[in-house]
Chains A and B, each alone.
Chain A
Amino acid sequence: MTQLTTVFDFQGQPQQLAKKLGEGGEGVIYPLAQRPEVLVKIYHERELAKRGKILQEKVEAMRGVTQLASEKSVSWPLISVFDAQQRWLGYAMYKAEGKDMFLLAHSMLYKKHFPGLDRRAITGYLINLVQQLKTLQDHGVMIGDYTLHNLLCQPNSDKVTLIDCDSYQLQFNGRHYASPVGTPDMTPIEHHGKAFSDLVRTKESEAFSLAIILFKCLMLGRHPYDIVGGEDPVTNLKRGDFAYGVGNKGIPAGPWYNIWSHMPHRLKSSFIATFTEGANDPAKRTSLEEWLEILTLYGKEIDKDWHEVAITPSEPKPKKYHGNNRSISQSASHC
């Protein structure tokens, strides 16, 4: 694709583009030359030829959800962008600040990109993330394609911004707009074996994918279905083979057990329920609202100094429990 220099809005007003910022499988991102806080996504010719009409309809529908257009924490499509002949090319959005959440959840690279990171800070990002997903769901929007690469975290804050929103699933004015992309290792069993574009994402399917993101962030990028001696994560996912919890069979060598052992009981139980029984039974998955409550409580308890904040605790949590809650004390020795 040759470098585009000028694009137009619906009224035919021109804007100069600056040098391209990035390129993906679907299109190219350019900042506006005069307003670098505004980015435009221009779809590749082949994408426009293949599904330009549906893309335009979806972007127009997304613009219709005006409450989200004013959310700065979501890089929402704001206006459509055209060429000189008024042919639709893509859309404009506000530029999101922050670093790829993949770097936060990377066992080596977090130190460089998030210096001083601790578990309180991770929890802060995750609380924010879940709150934003809840806002989206309240407006009929599901993420569908969960990937750490589409979440940006601002270092030294708890701010998370959602990007690449044009892949989201949307229900607007009685019409369904699919999320046509995804990856098998982030997708619950009931959606395997079908084309992503044919799926209707549900609160339960979202809850499953979200739980994987939460686990990866709390466990330095480990996929919940990484198991010693197991198969690839997708095969383990289909079997609901989760290493942690009762018996702790197949936890990889390294800091993983220590990290796990320091998580509060309810957080661990929610992961166990979602990744074992919940793999096959969507009703057993921890909901978005529950995650919000669990993470908020975790944050508050860390503030009270109840939990380890080190990213990789040097020792597992002692089995001994000093409180007077018998159920916690008993289950703490099991998981």
Chain B
Amino acid sequence: MTHYELATQNDLIENPSPRCPCMVVLDTSSSMSGAPITQLNEGMQTFLQALNEDEVAACSVEVGVITAGSSVREELPFTSALNIDGCNSFSAGGMTPLGGAVNLALQKLEERKAEYKRAGVPYYQPWLVIISDGEPNDSWQAAAAQAKQLSSQNKLVSLVVGVEGANLATLGEFSHRPALMLQGLKFNAFFQWLSASMSRVSQSASTTAQVDLPPMDGWASI
């Protein structure tokens, strides 16, 4: 057992708060170079900071990050927000292997859910957040179909966000909800909305209750 596995399993014992896992898949391909990747990095920091400012969310929300660029990389394994000290800055480069990244994300979500069950820790519907300024250029259809199916079965909240240049039609295949276009580079506003949504989920009375999420009109144009 690796040190990481031991740490996260102990975490489920010491902190049995109901969990809401949120896997963020970031397109870090070369087209994201410059302002987009800078804003994206800042947005991620805002997200983690905002989660930590809400003590209940900090105990309940687990964040994971996978990047799709030169390769598919798990940058941050699922970690409770209160145990995340910060997040690496990502640099842009390479192609857009979103299929592989989502595949890995779904696999990590399944593994984490199994760990929750082993520890007897209840969990909210997991979230998958995909942010891209283009479209996948690896083999993506199977991963997209799986994400879409889970999302239509209410087993996954799959949220796809396009940045200028994104192929929304293709990205939309990763969810049963349409992909949303971000106005300009308002990553900060988006991540604030995401943390507010996570706060609401973690405050909801029941892991099976429906949660009204905050309105999106602050950041997205639909």
Contact = CB atoms under 8 A, between A and B. Distances in A.
Nearest to B204: A183
A223 interface: yes
Contact of B209 (A184, A223, A243): A184
Tell me whether chain A's interface is mostly helix, strand or loop, or mixed: loop
Given A106-B59, A184-B206, A232-B208, A252 B121 contact: yes
B121 A185 contact: no
B197 interface: no
B155 to A, nearest CB: 11
Given A149-B203, A228-B120, A250-B120, A108 B59 contact: yes
Tell me whether chain B's interface is mostly helix, strand or loop, or mixed: loop
B15 interface: yes
Interface of B: 13-17, 55-56, 59, 82, 117-122, 203, 205-209, 212
A60 to B, nearest CB: 28
Interface residues on A, range: 20 to 34
A109 B205 contact: no
B120 A226 contact: yes
Interface of A: 25, 102, 106-109, 112, 147-149, 183-186, 220-223, 226-230, 232-234, 243, 250-254
A252 B207 contact: no
Contacts of B16: 107, 220-222, 226, 252, 254
Contacts of B117: 228-230
A112 B56 CA distance: 12
A208 B159 CA distance: 37
B207 A233 contact: yes
A309 B160 CA distance: 50
Interface core residue of A106, A112, A220, A221 (most chain B CB under 10 Å): A106
23 contacts: A106-B17, A106-B59, A107-B15, A107-B16, A108-B15, A108-B82, A109-B56, A148-B205, A183-B208, A184-B206, A220-B16, A221-B16, A221-B17, A222-B16, A228-B118, A228-B119, A228-B120, A229-B117, A229-B118, A232-B207, A233-B206, A234-B208, A253-B120
Contact of B206 (A107, A186, A220, A222): A186
B120 A185 contact: no
Interface core residue of B118, B122, B207, B212 (most chain A CB under 10 Å): B122
Given A25-B212, A228-B120, A252-B121, A149 B17 contact: no
Given A112-B55, A228-B120, 15 more contacts: A25-B212, A106-B59, A107-B14, A107-B15, A109-B55, A109-B56, A149-B205, A184-B208, A185-B207, A221-B17, A226-B120, A229-B117, A233-B122, A250-B120, A251-B120
